[in-house]
């Protein structure tokens, strides 16, 4: 029945650099064991003729035509910009590059 031992939890805690008390290790081992058993029960309930699903309802994308619409000119786009230079938005440099 017990697939997750206290030693397994202690090992994983050390790998993850998580400090746990003896009581926490014992409690976590029991909780993880319940989770593993639950997953095993669900896996056993699935029959070979039941298709795997990722979502209970079928998903469909709604597409629209990609058509060019009304566009701003460069001057209109830059009209409210705090700073512009050579027809482009000017922003503060964040890298030490030119």
Domain that holds residue 14: 6-45
Residue 69 lies in a domain: no
Specify whether the CB–CB gap between 3 and 33 falls below 8 A. yes
- Decide if 38 is inside a domain: yes
> Can you list the alpha helix ranges (DSSP code H) found in the chain?
6-15, 22-45, 74-78
Instruction: Tally the C-alpha atoms within 13 A of residue 48's C-alpha that lie toward its C-beta.
Output: 0
pTM, to two decimals: 0.46
Give Cα 64 to chain centroid, integer Å.
28
Question: What are the pLDDT digits (tens) for 8-66?
Answer: 999 999 999 999 999 999 999 999 999 999 988 887 877 777 777 778 888 888 898 98
Given a cut of 70, whether residue 75 has pLDDT beyond it is yes
Residue 16 has what pLDDT? Answer: 95
The count of domains in the chain is 1
């Amino acid at each position: 029945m017990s697939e997750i031992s206290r030693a397994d939890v202690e090992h994983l805690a050390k790998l993850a650099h998580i400090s746990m008390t003896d009581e926490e290790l014992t409690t976590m081992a029991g909780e993880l064991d319940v989770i593993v058993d639950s997953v095993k029960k669900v896996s056993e309930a699935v029959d070979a003729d039941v298709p795997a699903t990722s979502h209970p309802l079928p998903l469909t994308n709604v597409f629209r035509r990609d058509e060019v619409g009304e566009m701003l000119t460069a001057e209109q786009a830059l009209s409210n910009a705090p700073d512009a230079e050579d027809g482009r938005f000017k922003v503060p440099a964040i890298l030490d590059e030119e």
